Amino acid sequence: MQNSSLNGHLTAIFTIFLWGMTFISTKILLQVWPPVIILFLRFVIGFIALWLIKPQMLHNTTWRQELTFMTAGICGITLYYLLENVALTYTQAANVSVIISAAPFFTLLVSHWLRQDDGHIRFNFLLGFVVAMLGIALLSASGSTLHLNPLGDFLALAAAFVWALYSQLVKKIDSFGFNLILTTRRIFFYGLMFILPILMLTDKQISLLPLRDFTYLLNLLFLGLGASALCFVTWNFAVKLLGAVKTSIYIYLNPVITLCGSIIILHEQLTTPMTCGVILALAGLLISELPDWCLKDKIPFINKRHS
- Give residue-wise pLDDT tens across range 201-249: 877 778 889 999 999 999 999 999 999 999 999 999 999 898 888 888 8
Closest CA to 236 of 161, 163, 143, 304: 163
Backbone angles phi, psi at 204, to 5 degrees: -95, 135
Q: Which distant-in-sequence residues (6+ apart) come within 8 Å of 70 by Cβ?
A: 190
Tell me how long the chain is. Answer: 307
Does 165 have pLDDT greater than 50? yes
23 or 38: which leads in pLDDT: 38
- 144 Cα distance to chain centroid: 24
Q: 218-236 burial by CB neighbour count: b if 16+ within 10 A, else e? A: ebbebbbbbbbbbbbbbbb
What is the arithmetic mean of pLDDT over 268-275? 75
Q: Sketch the domain layout of the chain as residue ranges.
A: 2-115+147-247
21-30, 34-43, 122-131, 244-253, range with greatest mean pLDDT = 34-43
- Give residue-wise pLDDT tens across range 40-58: 999 999 999 999 999 999 9
What share of the chain has pLDDT > 70, as a percent? Answer: 83
Closest CA to 169 of 70, 252, 80, 61: 70
In angstroms, the Cα distances linking 230 to 69, 87, 108, 236 are 18, 26, 25, 10
Does 185 have pLDDT greater than 50? yes
**What is the predicted pLDDT for the residue at 27?**
78
Q: How far apart are CA 96 and CA 101, in angstroms?
A: 8
Task: Give the mean pLDDT of the chain.
Answer: 82
